[in-house]
Structure 1
Amino acid sequence: MKKINRFSTKTTLWLASLVLVCIIGSCKKNEGFNTEPVSTDKTKPGVVTNIAVKNFNGGAYITYDLPNSDNILYVLARYNINDKTSRETKSSYYTDTVTVDGFAAAKDYDVTLTVVSRANVSSDPVKVTVHPNTPFYKLIKPTVNITTDFGGVHINALNPNRKEVGVILVALDKTTEALEVADQHYTNTDTISYSVRGYPSVPTKFGVYVTDQFGNLSDTTIVTLTPLFETQLDKSKFSVYRQASDSEIGYGWNLPYLWDGKTDGYSNGWHTQPGTGKPIQGTFGIGVLTQLSRIKIWERPLEYAFFHGNPKNFTIWGSAKESPADVVLPQSAPAGTVIGDWTNLSNFRYPNPPSGLQPGFTNAADEKFVEAGVDFVFPTSAPPVKYLRILVHDTWGKGDVAHLMEVTVYGKPQ
């Protein structure tokens, strides 16, 4: 794999907006800290002494002794974190430590420490050398893996320290003939796993790199991949395939509402009848034998987000038969299990609320997540099918009723 460090003006402009040139911080917060002159004593303060350095990933703690004076306001640290960005960190007279961070690499950096008085008079500068440990964005980069996916690529990476990072995908732009930013994925999760789609099934040059909150960039891994072909199935060909084991319909929310294109919380969807027990399921045809790639599901939004009858754990079963026979399917079975005419295509779990809040206490961001729909990807080993059955194991409300607003199915028709 080939590696590069820079790609285009467009990328550079985006990265420039990310950089925070001056961030104020210290080991100990002093609320109400004020840098305005509060003294008429213009005496030049002494310098810090007895300096010690403790390095950490991407930064260092610098401890020191302050000069013996009641006229000191703060200690100012000035330093460059990479070849284009300088930072300043201030630490009040209440503490003996200043934290410097955001460094791009594990190497020596000079930090200049200056004592500033209450009259805004600076001491002579004192230079100290720090040698940060490897920054987290560089620790994450070797774990990044980019592979083909249906309609695009899939990216995996490990972030065990749960640091705020950005994983940036670039792709060859036919107009500019340069690698341009195609997707920006910011996260602090320990495991990074997501797909970027919308690409034709032709060889395409992609690249991926990692950035941090200070605008530092890793190198870029360049690969040429051919996304797997997928297309959205024509919903006009979908049809109800009512089976004896299917759930009764509640409140007139019949199965065809599941593919009418309406995802808002005010239209009808699919809703089972309360009190009818398990299995909670619905069966329908997709019109054409298809190797499925993914199914996008819209749960009921607004006040129902992560609540009531929205499915939490569910299975998609499929059949390639022209008229598959009904069978009562188990509540639990490994993917690939075959029972009668039906195959377990995959077991899925709807993601937890992005906010981290408990269901029932979710916020507007969680509602927005539900309203956007969620992709559930089928394994490439799943067989082509013509009929689907959604079997709901449990819901966020833990009741015996389930509801969904819409499904969109993608794959490769046979």
Structure 2
Amino acid sequence: MKQYFKIMLMALGTGCLAYSCGKLDLNKPLSTSHGTPGVVTNVKVKNDSAKAILTYSLPQVQDIAYVKAVYSLASGTTREVKASVYDNQLTLDGFGDTLEHVVKLYVVNKAEVASEPVTVTVKPLENPIWGVFRAMKVLPDFNGIRITSKNPSRYNLAIEVLKDSMGQWFPVDGIYTATDSISSPIRGLDTMPKKLAVFIRDRFMNHTDTLFTTLKPFYETAIAKNTHREFTLPGDSPSAWASNKVSNLWDGYTELWPYVNITKDEGKPSVITFDLGVSAQLSRIVIWDYPEYLNSGRAYYYGGNPRKFEVWASPNPPLDGSWNNWTLMATCEEVKPSGLPYGQLTSEDRNLGFAGFNWDLRADVSKMRYIRIKVNQNWAGSYYMALAEVQLYGDPR
């Protein structure tokens, strides 16, 4: 019996060894080498912002796998970029300067044998982070700061902010964006003067100079809801059910039926109006959409949830329902993070909807007291609105 177990163990070991060798074989080149491949010819260089685009002609051989470019960035990092044999173009990215860079081009065959290098020189144009840096403004804002700039090429970048604390610099937050018009707040700062350092970088860790500034954030607090009241004007949209009313928007319930406000769909943009009860320098509004039930769950970006809408404010509106003496505070559009089709949501979509949507309001206007929300399109493609709760922020002092 012992001899039998020894034979079995030897057989298993031999099988495992063979299997292991078989797995290692999978990592071998796709074919045996047919010798060193020829080189690329007719190389042309087009220098562009933070990159260079190379075009070339391939050698007339059958076993080419790809073309590889090897070059160094300003940081000293060596970067490799590859292009398929079915293409004749390489985009070399990651440059942070406008100096000349030597690039070596290799043709690699299916046996992973590389050709002799062909050397070309590129001279990339200015990295877009510098244009964004020159256009950047760092301004005081409610409960923090606001950074504005222009990014016409929609370059993917990060704006890093650091705060001085007893001579040491500590990161506050970052803004990560590829939008063409930047206007982003960084909140959570008190109203004491802050020494800040701000710079811009890209994903290759190229960075601009640093802007140093001292700012004093504006005071901001949640506007108390106990003074809010309905203020229905001519032309405002009626509620769809008696239990749904505008005053439900400040009762503290962010998802429970019937403590919501759902308007009738009258075939035109729906409008509601309410009175804060106090005048305040407004900074932002948080809106909780009503999540209807869908497939045993709750659905945001759905039904009467506002997709494209406007927030208006007035210190003293006319009683005829007209838009005289009303100021447009924000033009808003909800964007589903997942990008999934209507009625399909990820956990990220639900979490953002559950937390409420923050919308910045204009800070360059006087104190306001009355709020109007006008829905131009909901997620169902019609006009009615389905909201659960609102919260205004600002300075009511």
TM-score (ref. length: structure 1): 0.74
Q: Which residue does the alignment assign to 1:12?
A: none
Q: Which residue does the alignment assign to 1:346?
A: 328
Does structure 2 retain, via aligned residues, the 8 Å contact 1:167–1:208?
no
Q: After superposition, what is the alpha-carbon deviation per residue over 1:66-123, rounded to whole angstroms, capped at 9, x for unaligned?
A: 4454444333211112314221122344444333221111111111223333333333
Amino acid paired to 1:195: P
Q: Which residue does the alignment assign to 2:161?
A: 170
Q: Which residue does the alignment assign to 2:172?
A: 182
Segment drifting more, 363-372 vs 401-410: 363-372
For residues 118 and 241 of structure 1, the distance between their equivalents in structure 2, rounded to whole angstroms, comes to 73
Q: Which residue does the alignment assign to 1:411?
A: 394
Segment drifting more, 299-308 vs 197-206: 299-308
For residues 215 and 250 of structure 1, the distance between their equivalents in structure 2, rounded to whole angstroms, comes to 54
Paired-residue identity, %: 29
Does structure 2 retain, via aligned residues, the 8 Å contact 1:58–1:104?
yes
Shift of 1:130: 1.0
Q: Which residue does the alignment assign to 1:55?
A: 47
CA spacing shift, 1:84–1:264, aligned 2, 3 Å: farther
CA spacing shift, 1:40–1:379, aligned 2, 3 Å: closer
For residues 305 and 280 of structure 1, the distance between their equivalents in structure 2, rounded to whole angstroms, comes to 19
Map of 1:12-411 to 2, 5 A cutoff? Answer: 37-41=29-33, 43-163=35-155, 165-172=156-163, 174=165, 177-235=167-225, 237-241=226-230, 245=234, 248-251=238-241, 252-264=243-255, 268-272=259-263, 280-286=271-277, 288-301=278-291, 303=299, 305=301, 307-308=303-304, 310=306, 312-319=308-315, 327-330=319-322, 332-333=323-324, 337=325, 344-354=326-336, 360=342, 363-364=345-346, 369-371=352-354, 372-385=356-369, 388-392=370-374, 394-396=376-378, 401-411=384-394
Q: Larger Rg: 1 or 2?
A: 2
Q: After superposition, what is the alpha-carbon deviation per residue over 1:225-245, rounded to whole angstroms, capped at 9, x for unaligned?
A: 11111111233x234245575
For residues 399 and 67 of structure 1, the distance between their equivalents in structure 2, rounded to whole angstroms, comes to 59
Secondary structure of 2:99's counterpart equals: coil
For residues 40 and 240 of structure 1, the distance between their equivalents in structure 2, rounded to whole angstroms, comes to 81
Secondary structure of 1:153's counterpart equals: strand
Secondary structure of 1:284's counterpart equals: strand
For residues 266 and 214 of structure 2, the distance between their equivalents in structure 1, rounded to whole angstroms, comes to 54
CA spacing shift, 1:166–1:94, aligned 2, 3 Å: closer
Amino acid paired to 2:199: Y
For residues 311 and 390 of structure 1, the distance between their equivalents in structure 2, rounded to whole angstroms, comes to 16
For residues 108 and 35 of structure 1, the distance between their equivalents in structure 2, rounded to whole angstroms, comes to 37
Secondary structure of 1:292's counterpart equals: strand
CA spacing shift, 1:77–1:328, aligned 2, 3 Å: same
Q: After superposition, what is the alpha-carbon deviation per residue over 1:324-344, rounded to whole angstroms, capped at 9, x for unaligned?
A: 9x71221x44xxx2xxxxxx2
Shift of 1:173: 5.3
Amino acid paired to 2:147: I
Amino acid paired to 2:250: W
Does structure 1 retain, via aligned residues, the 8 Å contact 2:307–2:333?
no
For residues 194 and 159 of structure 2, the distance between their equivalents in structure 1, rounded to whole angstroms, comes to 16
Shift of 1:281: 2.3
Does structure 1 retain, via aligned residues, the 8 Å contact 2:29–2:110?
yes
Secondary structure of 1:169's counterpart equals: strand
Does structure 2 retain, via aligned residues, the 8 Å contact 1:255–1:270?
yes
Secondary structure of 1:405's counterpart equals: strand
For residues 110 and 268 of structure 2, the distance between their equivalents in structure 1, rounded to whole angstroms, comes to 74
Q: After superposition, what is the alpha-carbon deviation per residue over 1:372-411, rounded to whole angstroms, capped at 9, x for unaligned?
A: 31223133322354xx342536442575643321111222
Amino acid paired to 1:255: V
Does structure 2 retain, via aligned residues, the 8 Å contact 1:282–1:389?
yes
For residues 367 and 232 of structure 1, the distance between their equivalents in structure 2, rounded to whole angstroms, comes to 24
Shift of 1:319: 4.1
For residues 53 and 394 of structure 1, the distance between their equivalents in structure 2, rounded to whole angstroms, comes to 49
CA spacing shift, 1:128–1:260, aligned 2, 3 Å: same
Structure number with higher relative contact order (C-alpha < 8 Å, ≥ 6 residues apart):
1
Q: Which residue does the alignment assign to 1:23?
A: none
Secondary structure of 2:333's counterpart equals: coil
Cα RMSD, aligned residues only: 3.5
Count of matched residue positions in the alignment of Structure 1 and Structure 2 = 361
For residues 244 and 187 of structure 1, the distance between their equivalents in structure 2, rounded to whole angstroms, comes to 40
Does structure 1 retain, via aligned residues, the 8 Å contact 2:71–2:104?
yes
Q: Which residue does the alignment assign to 2:12?
A: none
For residues 359 and 45 of structure 1, the distance between their equivalents in structure 2, rounded to whole angstroms, comes to 48
Secondary structure of 2:115's counterpart equals: coil
CA spacing shift, 1:64–1:310, aligned 2, 3 Å: closer
